[in-house]
Amino acid sequence: MMDLPAEFEQFHWMVDMVQNVELGLIVLDRDHNIQLWNSFMTHHSGFQSHDVLDKTIFDIFPEIPAEWFKLKTKPVYDLGCRSFITWQQRPYLFKCRNVRPVTQQADFMYQNVTLNPMRTPTGKINSLFLSIQDATAEALASRCS
């Protein structure tokens, strides 16, 4: 059996990690076209990656207010800083099924979303990635308090 180059092994590990991490990961270009859609998003949204890639986030999720979302992405592109959307501001950005049996009191997954800049090797920000965390248990617990 032939040994694979270390760079190929590292790339394989990164792809495996992106696909299997218990977070939604989405990469958007400046026109809000989806460039990456990981398995968490497929599992929870019901959309396969081949159905969403190269389409705008607004085509796939028309319930997202476009102007509001663009205001959230502006500091990421202009200043290179993170932006946040918490479940307290908006219960969910993506209408994802709540599939956890313990937290079935909610129809949809409450989410905390972080918008992160993605820099090219020269430092230019041409895209951003969103990390989506399931905050349903936390949101429901706070409602009961």
CATH numbers and ranges of domains, the chain = 24-144 (3.30.450.20)
Single-letter amino acid code for the residue at 75: P
> How far, in Å, CA of 136 to CA of 145, rounded?
14
Convert the pLDDT of each residue in 9-54 to its tens digit: 665 456 555 566 678 999 999 999 999 999 999 998 989 999 999 9
Contact criterion met (CB below 8 Å) for 27 and 129: yes
pLDDT confidence of 96, banded at 50, 70, 90?
confident
Which residue has tokens 């992160």? Answer: 116
Q: What is the pLDDT of residues 62-82, one digit of tens each?
A: 999 999 999 999 999 999 999
